[in-house]
Amino acid sequence: MRSPPRDTGAFASRLEDRLAAGERLFLLVSGLDSCSGSGRRQLAACLRGLSDFHGDALHLVLVGGEGLAGLKYVEGDLSLLSHAEPRHWPEWNTGDLMDQARCSTPPLDLSAEDVLAILTASGGHPRLILEVQRLRAKGRPLPECAQGLGRSGHIEAQFSAIAQDPD
């Protein structure tokens, strides 16, 4: 297994190689509000370039707040994310998630630490939160559940369905 890319150029190159080889990719990026403004801009520029050339093979979900929204609206049509379609959802807090986990089937007993880890890994997106809980209910350790979001066929199918029929 190759080591993870260390900068935007290496990341873009690795994705470009896979897309050029005919792979279809689903990329979920969360936590964008916790990185620097220049980091968000670099990532947005990279993803914009890749999606312009490989739009049918590259499916992107970017989870973030105002910092991410700024990349969409700051320069109009020339914005790095002008072609992105925003979706909004209410933010979950630790109490909401603990209550929901207790009421799930099977009930999950999550610590405050577990809940914060889930909220961080999911970016607060309800479908991603539920996917982590689904994996956790199957007995998987929490770190494995959070890491599994990027490889989840279940999540890719849900977001692909939304992309095809947003209503």
* Distance of alpha carbon 10 from alpha carbon 152, whole angstroms: 24
Tens of pLDDT along the chain (167 residues) come to: 677 777 778 888 898 999 999 988 888 777 776 777 787 778 878 888 888 888 788 887 777 766 666 766 666 655 556 667 776 667 788 888 888 888 887 888 888 888 888 888 777 777 788 888 888 888 888 888 877 776 776 666 655 555 555 44
pLDDT at 140 (0 to 100): 84
- Quote the CA–CA distance of 83 and 31 in Å, as a whole number: 20
Residue 138: φ, ψ to 5°: -85, 0
pLDDT computed for residue 42 by the predictor? 82
* CB distance 97 to 115 below 8 Å: yes
Which CA distances in Å does 58 have to 5, 49, 54?
Answer: 18, 11, 6
The predicted pLDDT at position 119 comes to 85
Instruction: Quote the pLDDT of residue 82.
Output: 67
Residue bearing tokens 């707040």? 65
Distances in whole angstroms, Cα of residue 38 to Cα of each of 8, 44, 112 = 11, 10, 32
Using DSSP, state whether 33 is helix, strand or coil: helix
Q: pLDDT at position 134, please?
A: 83
